[in-house]
Structures are given as structure tokens and as C-alpha cells.
Amino acid sequence: MTVHTDRLTATTPTGATTANPTGPIPVPPAGSARLDVEAVSGALMGAWAETRHAARERAARPELHRPLDVTVAEHRERTSEQMVLLAQENVSWPMLPEHLGGPNDNGGNVAGFEELVVADPSLQIKAGVQWGLFTSAIVQLGNEEQQKAWVPDAMSLTIPGAFAMTEIGHGSDVQSLATTATYDPTAEEWVIHTPFRAAWKEFLGNAALDAKAATVFARLITKGVDHGVHCFYVPVRDGDGTLLPGVRSEDDGPKGGLNGIDNGRLAFQQVRVPRTNLLNRYGDVTADGSYSSPIDSPGRRFFTMLGTLVQGRVSLDGSAVRASQLALHIAITYATQRRQFTAADPTRETVLMDYQSHLHRLLPKLASTYAGAFSHEQLLQAFDDVFSGRTDDPEAREDLETLAAALKPTSTRLALDTVQECREACGGAGFIAENQLVGLHQDLDVYATFEGDNTVLMQLVAKRLLSDYTSELKSVDRAGIGRFIAQRAEVLAKRHTPWARLAQDLSDRGNPRRAFDSMRQSDFQEEMLTSRARVKVEEVALSLRPAAKMSPAEAASEVNKHQVEMLEAAQAHADLVRWRAFTTAIEQFEDEATRSVLTDVRDLFGLTTIEDDLAWFLLSGMISAQRGRQINSDLRRLLWRLRPHVLDLVAAFDVRPGHVRAPIALGGEQERQDEAAAYFRAQRASHDAPVSEKSLRDKEKTAKREAGRRSGTKP
């Protein structure tokens, strides 16, 4: 793997080669452990490294970058022009199956798409709407004849499209959509209708201005039977951009971010489309109105249809990780150059990165971003396996959907928190638009609620975990279930007594090093994170057992009482997935120094995750008070160990100057610091430099003391 060097990298492991070895930062001597940046960068690029390289070259081009200080209209126009460039370069061609002339490289398509976030998130999401949603719906839900009829124009932007799923009144609750598609057998047409205001399609990219067609999700009704939500291809504008009869549109106007996209609303008043405009892979209607489907269960049919569109969540997971990498690159580069206060050195101020508080606010985010990058690679592999057909079965799809539902909320929340922390860590400079961080936060804000609201997705994960837990008990007879429940109840009860904690305290007493050694061991971290994930599921499952004998309304109420615990169990599962992915990645490196540095980063992630939920570990009796007190000091020790490697760790992200575009991270700050240092050196060396009042008074006091000493009197 060739790593390109057209980016800022450090020539030494530390931000300051002249750091005082007696100072607080343990600068390792020359020849000590050093990260192999090229190897780590290659691992982070993953299986589609060449695709990512090409996409990063594209994202560095100025004509694709997010503009500053433009109106919403100007930003929309620029983004539409950028879309034409992407279409001309066939950037989404890898997604096409072989019979449409493509390579069926779904993983490569998503990998390349993720890189656009560092160019302009508006461009990325508009491309995602056009090809990842609108076109993908036709490819994944339509038959071959429909694909050949509509996909070429969608790929070339001859037909810009909208993905009309979400409604004002239901948001993430797609199964309850109110838009109807009623079949008229006399005309062999579907009648698409929006029955009331809350059923308007909302937040649709391309809907306000550009879309000429939409893939509309509506309730399929034929012969008086509602067969649930299906997808229909519906033209909405003519070639001149005029709305077609019965189609209504409204502009969402300025948003908190992503203002290069013309989000809007669509409604349909008895709009008719041919019978063949039903995307019929999972449900079809004959000319006389008879419905058929290869999937008998309406619920399973619905979730299968939605599962074909999981790539949106997969791509947002990777995009959020890439955005975190960009923010950390800017903030950490700046922090190794920006100097503030002179407590450690009377003639030279201290770089921000040498302050413990700065390490504490940025390095845990760096560790989480590494964990997110390695877990995303596993998700991308699973996605490609399913969508390429290599492992496309119901279980594999369910596993993919669960993994995507766990990682997308985790990475998007991490990205928002990371960008904000990086913004604050750069002080006022971080608030200047040209340094990217405020704009990046604005654009990423909606990532937490689209393509599946984060809270709703975590509920899906929790339900899957509870289902898997229940399945474990299906093979146990009635008496065995009783014994199992009793045993688990006993174990849970013991965790809430002091005996387990007391035994751990006694073994650690007087030996903090023993506690540190064990917590740095991967076996210990995995045991803690695994037990936490499983116990949280068990506690919810045992609490919900009475719901099995309740009426549906009572059962729903009982589940609602434990919703917060369900979300916590899902988050514990996501943390475990990321920790294991990180550990697996470390095992692939042969260089011992690289393994050592990355293990420290993994330990920082693992121990931070444990500390974040330390109250639960303590109350559950899984960690003793002695070890609980030790974690914080262990984390501080890891921060000092990793300080010399921070620039290498961000260099492995392969963030290039064309991606950064932030003057504070492109040498501007270093130039200012060098100029200031040269000025003060020259001033100290001159004979006519002004003398500070404090130094003058100090000299006077010294002279008085010396005079008193010589005269034998007190000064």
C-alpha cells in the first residue's frame, strides 16, 4: 500500500523537537517505539484502499469544496454544478450490477462515497440522495426491465430524483406511513394520494427544485386490502422543471447545515402512474388487481424491503468517522504548534498539546475514532458480502442491519462530540469559518437523526439483542428455564452485594500496580465490556418476562418503562463491537512498535469506556473500589505515553491539505509562532531592549540584600 505524502506530517514523534527532557512530557529517546504511519494508514483504508485513494484525490479538488459566505441559493447552485462533475466521472458506477454494465462493487462504491464528506457534506448527501437512495431503490427493489428503463437516466442526472419515504407525521415510523397507492384495475393504474397534511413527504433532498421523479413509499391497496408499504416510481416534474398535475412541492428553506441541498416536501393529489411503476421485487399486482409476494409475512416483507436500503446507514457510519479524523487532524496539528503561557519556560511558551487537560479532551476522542474506523471496516465488509450476493440470506441481512443500527448512532454522536471538542480546543480560531470546524459541525448535526434517528436505531439493536437472548432459552425445557432464571437472578443479586467487590479489594490492596496491570490486559477489558453488554440485556429481559402474559397494550406499556435500559444495553453492545474490532486490527500488524502504540490507544479507548460507565460497574460489583479509583490515574498515564505519538497517529488518517483547508492546521500558526520566537530572541540579544518592571524590581531587591549582607545589617 502506497501512502501519499502530500500532507503535513511530523518528522519526529513529538510536536516540539526541542522539548526539555526534564519537563513533564516523557519524550522517548531516538530509536524507541515509533508508529509505522504507512502501515497504519493502509490498515485504516481497508480492503478498498485504491478506491479511497482515488476518492481522496477527488475530494482535494477545489471545485468540489464547501463554499464560505454564500447564500442558500448560491450554495444550491454550486452543489448542482458539482453533481454534474461527479456524474461525468461516473463516481457511483461501482454500485451497478453486471447486467447494467457495472462491477457490482457495493463496498467500493460506499468507500468512495464516504470520502466526499471532507470536500463538502452537502455534495456528499446530495450525491447520496441521487444515487444511494433514489437510484438504489430502483436497483434494489425493481425488476430488470425497470432498472434498464430508469437507472441510466438517474445515473447521468438526466432524471434527478427524490427519495420520498419520510412523512411529517411519522418520521422514522415508516411502517405507519399514511400516503396511499390504490390500484384501479379499469385503467391499470396506481392512484397516489396524500390524505392529510401530516402525510406530506418531508425533508426530501432534491424535492424543492431539482427532482423530476421520486421513489415514493406508500401503502399498497388493491381489492380493498392494505398490503403495507411498497415503493413506486412517480414522475414529479416535466423536462422544464414544472410540477406535474396533482404534484405539490414546498421548499424547506434554510437549514442548520447542508444548505447546498434543496430539501423540500412533496404531496400527491390523486396522481396516476402505470401499474408497472410499482417496484415489484417483493410484491406485485396483476392487471386484475391480484396481489402476490415471494414473502408471505407482511412484517418480514416490510423489513426486507427496508433492509435493501441499509447502505445509507453504512455510509454515514464511515462518513462520520472520516469527519472525526478531519477535525482531530486540525485540532491536534494546531495544538502542537500553538503556544500559550510561560510557566514551564521563562523564555518560551508551552504548546497546548503539552497540557494534560488538552490531552484529556482530545486523545480519548482520537482513540474512539480509531475504534470506529476499524469497526466500520468490518461493517463495510459485511455490507459488501450481502449486497454482492456472497452471503445474502435472511440471517446475514439481519446481522448487517443490526450492526449498522449499532454503529451509525455511535459514530455520528462521536463525530458531533469530537468536532465540538476540537472547535473549543482551538479557542477563538476554531470559531472562524475558514478553519472548517463550525461548518463541519453544522453539516454533521443532522447525521444524528436522518437515515434512521439514532435513538430509534438503538431501540432496534436492543430488540435484536433481546430476541437473541430469548432464543437461547428456547432449547431449554420448562424446568430448565426455571433453573436458568433462578441462577441468573442469583448472579445478578451477588453483583449488588459487597462480597465480590471485597474479594477484589483484598487482592489489590496495597498494590495499585496489580490493578493497573490487570486493567491494561486485553482479557480484563474484554471481560468487563462483554459482561456489561450481556448483563444489561439480561436485566432488561428478566424485567420484561411478565410482558409475555400481558395484553398488547399492557405489554407495550411495560416495555416503555424499560426503554432507557434497552438503549443502554444497545450502547454497551456497540462499545463491545468497537473494542473487539480494534483488538482484531492490532493483531494484524507485525511491527512490534506499531502494535505497542496502537495497544496503548486501544487501552485508552477501553478504559475510557469503562470509566464512562464506572458507576454501573461499581454498583454491579464487577469492579472494586480500588480498581475504580485506579482507572483515572491509569488513563492519565496513558495520555503521557501517547503524547509523543499524536502527530503520527493523525498522520495515519491521510488527511491532505486539500481536505483540511484550515489555515491554523496548514502552517499558518507555526509561521506566527516562529516569527514571534525570532522577534523575542532578537530582543533579548539586543542592548536597547526595554526592561520589564518586574525584573527591575527583582534586581533592586537583590542589590539591597547583597548590600545588607556586606554591611552586616538586615536589608
Reported as a single tens digit per residue, the pLDDT across 261-304 is: 999 999 999 999 999 999 999 999 999 999 999 999 998 888 88
For the domain 483-651, what is the CATH superfamily, name and number?
Answer: Butyryl-CoA Dehydrogenase, subunit A, domain 3 (1.20.140.10)
Q: 596 near 492, Cβ under 8 Å?
A: no
Distances (CA, A) of 597 to 165, 222, 322, 601: 46, 62, 21, 6
Rounded Cα gap, residues 301 and 290, in angstroms: 17
**pLDDT score recorded for residue 389:** 82
Percentage of residues in the chain having pLDDT higher than 90:
66
401 within 8 A of 307, measured Cβ to Cβ: yes
At residue 638, does pLDDT exceed 70?
A: yes
Per-residue pLDDT tens over the stretch 438-451: 999 999 999 999 88
| Overall average pLDDT of the 340-352 stretch | 79
**How much is the mean pLDDT over the chain?**
88
pLDDT at 497 over 70: no
Q: What pLDDT digit, counting tens, does each position of 562-620 carry?
A: 999 999 999 999 999 999 999 999 999 999 999 999 999 999 999 999 999 999 999 98
Cell of 442: 453544522
The C-alpha atoms of residue 124 and residue 447 are separated, in whole angstroms, by 12
d(CA 66, CA 59): 10
Q: What are the backbone dihedrals phi and psi of residue 202, each rounded to the nearest 5 degrees, phi first?
A: -130, 155
CB 236 within 8 A of CB 244: yes
Element (H, E) at 227: strand 225-235
Rounded to an integer, the average pLDDT of 18-31 is: 46
C-alpha closest to that of 570 among 372, 410, 448: 410
- Residue 714's pLDDT is what? 58
510: pLDDT confidence band, cut at 50, 70 and 90?
very low
C-alpha 327/C-alpha 440 separation (Å) is: 8
Instruction: Give the predicted TM-score (pTM) of the model.
Output: 0.89
Express each pLDDT in 306-345 by its tens digit: 877 789 999 999 999 999 999 999 999 999 999 888 766 7
Instruction: List the chain domain ranges.
Output: 127-298, 483-651
Residue 339 CA to residue 318 CA, distance in Å, equals 33
Asked whether 602 and 529 are in contact (CB, 8 A), the reply is no
Distance CA 339, CA 62 (A): 31
Is pLDDT of 516 > 70? no
- CA gap 422, 444 in Å, rounded: 14
Which position has the higher pLDDT, 632 or 715?
Answer: 632
Query: Which pLDDT value is given to residue 498?
Result: 40
Architecture of domain 127-298: Beta Barrel (2.40)
Strand residues in 154-200 grouped as ranges (E): 161-164, 180-184, 189-193
Cell reading at 73:
441559493
Cell numbers placing 85: 462533475
Residues 6+ apart with CB under 8 A from 339: 348, 349, 350, 351, 352, 673
What pLDDT was estimated at residue 468? 81
Give the span between the Cα atoms of 501 and 337, in whole angstroms.
45
Mean pLDDT of 345-368: 91
